[in-house]
Amino acid sequence: RLFKAYTKGVVKLQPGNWFYTRPFLDFADKIYDFKFRPTDIVIMTFPKAGTTWMQEIVWSLKHPFESDNQLDGFPCVALSSKYNLLEGDFVKSTGSGLSAIQADDGYQLLQKHCPGKDPKNGVFLQIAEKISDPRIIKTHLPFSLLAPSLLNTCKVVFVARNPKDVCVSFYHHSNIVKTHGYTGDFNKFFELFLNGEVMYGPFWKYLEEAWERREHPNLHCVHFEDLKSNPMKEISKLNDFLDTGLNADQIERISDETSFEAMKKKEPKKCNTGTCPLMDRSKGSFFRSGTVDSWKKNFTKEQNDKMNEWIQKHSSNGNNFRLRFS
Ligand code: A3P
């Protein structure tokens, strides 16, 4: 009852006890059967780990001569031909149903790319099938709910972030994003997060599935914290991984154009007004802090101790993502 999003019920799916709202079941098979192409780049992240930042970087690497002065895609519109959210149909039907998709600017894309298609069959999935290569597809789904051939087919960029910052950022997100509609306080959210009972949870299992595949040549893992402290270095590594062949000047330009301040400036004005279809902007901005360790303002000492213990507990099974998170 704390989430408007949960009114249609929730499900826990194996093998990870993955926590989703019931409408996920309407799309789970279609998503699992989604055909990736060798030219695809998949950005895989737990929500709030830096998805939007990474998608802008990857887009810029693939399109070094196109400079955008306005963001396209989340958080401004849900549907975008630049980056398609693979499970977007489920996310949309979770909250306010088809009407929310129709109210979205990006709905026009379906008409453009897929004339005559029925939105009930999945607007996001149908657009994803139609957009031209190279596609940038983002997902918060774990490997185990996607096609097993994913990594053997195309490249995947995985972003990990300190769960303390993810938790605070997710709490904020759940407040402002209308499809989540969270009404509880931070303390309650903190407990749900630790229990793996917020959307896309549990957090550690999500990381573990990427960690298990870390040696695969088509998987590249980035830490939000590293990207923040040395964007040039991390973007250069991505340049190598994606074979985009850009020079140091071009990488520096991308680093500047994808900084927190630059991206915040590129948010269309209408996104920051009461007319934004996705978010209640009176409760805050999507570009909130963009920093490392902002959790310190929210956590009590008890919460910090508890989360440290939780991090410790998940350290025993060889998942070394955690080493950066204590
Ligand atoms: P905070 O809420 O901590 O500020 P996602 O895109 O996965 O939803 O993640 C959103 C988080 O990334 C938010 O974190 C947001 O402010 C931060 N973010 C977005 N763009 C960023 C950028 N260019 N640099 C640093 N942080 C960024």
The CATH number fitting domain 4-324, selected from 3.40.366.10, 3.40.50.300, 3.40.50.450, 3.40.350.10 = 3.40.50.300
Residue 97 has a pLDDT of: 45
Asked whether the beta carbons of 85 and 124 are under 8 A apart, the reply is yes
Residue 47 has a pLDDT of: 96
Sign of the Cα pseudo-torsion (116, 118, 123, 126, in order): negative
Ligand 1 pocket test: pick from 169, 234, 296 the residue with the most ligand atoms within 8 Å of its Cβ. 169
What's the rounded Cα separation, in Å, for the pair 303 and 286? 24
User: Is pLDDT above 60 for 32?
Assistant: yes
Least confident among 43-52, 110-119, 189-198, 259-268:
110-119
Q: What is the dihedral of CA 167, 170, 172, 176, to 10 degrees?
A: -170
Calculate how far, in angstroms, residue 243's C-alpha sits from the geometric centre of ligand 1.
25
- The token duo for 307 is 């989360």
The one-letter code for the residue type at 275 is T
What's the rounded Cα separation, in Å, for the pair 188 and 138? 29
Tell which wins on pLDDT, 215 or 69: 215
Residue 278 has a pLDDT of: 72
Which of 211, 192, 197 has its CA nearest to residue 143?
211
Tell which wins on pLDDT, 1 or 295: 295
User: Is pLDDT above 60 for 98?
Assistant: no
Distances from the Cα of 244 to the Cα of 63, 171, 218, 247, 318, angstroms: 9, 36, 15, 9, 33
Distances from the Cα of 83 to the Cα of 43, 295, 324, angstroms: 9, 29, 29
Asked whether the beta carbons of 106 and 77 are under 8 A apart, the reply is yes
What's the rounded Cα separation, in Å, for the pair 161 and 47? 10
Which of 209, 203, 159 has its CA nearest to residue 58?
159
Put simply, whether the predicted model's pTM sits higher than 0.80 gets the answer yes
Sign of the Cα pseudo-torsion (206, 43, 234, 238, in order): positive
Calculate how far, in angstroms, residue 50's C-alpha sits from the geometric centre of ligand 1.
5
Calculate how far, in angstroms, residue 53's C-alpha sits from the geometric centre of ligand 1.
6
Residue 295 has a pLDDT of: 95
Q: What is the pLDDT of residues 279-290, one digit of tens each?
A: 787 888 889 999
Ligand 1 binding pocket (C-beta < 6 A) is 45, 47-53, 165, 169, 172, 258-260, 263, 287-290, 294
For the annotated catalytic residues, the residue numbers are 140
Residue 322 main-chain phi, psi, to 5 deg = -65, -25
Give the whole-number percent of the chain exceeding pLDDT 90.
59
User: Is pLDDT above 80 for 104?
Assistant: no
Mean of all residue pLDDT scores within the chain: 87
Residue 84 has a pLDDT of: 82
User: Is pLDDT above 70 for 37?
Assistant: yes
Ligand 1 pocket test: pick from 60, 287, 297 the residue with the most ligand atoms within 8 Å of its Cβ. 287
Q: What is the ipTM of this complex?
A: 0.99
Most confident of 5-14, 87-96, 219-228, 262-271: 219-228
Most confident of 62-66, 71-75, 125-129, 210-214: 210-214
- Average pLDDT, integer, range 93-99: 53
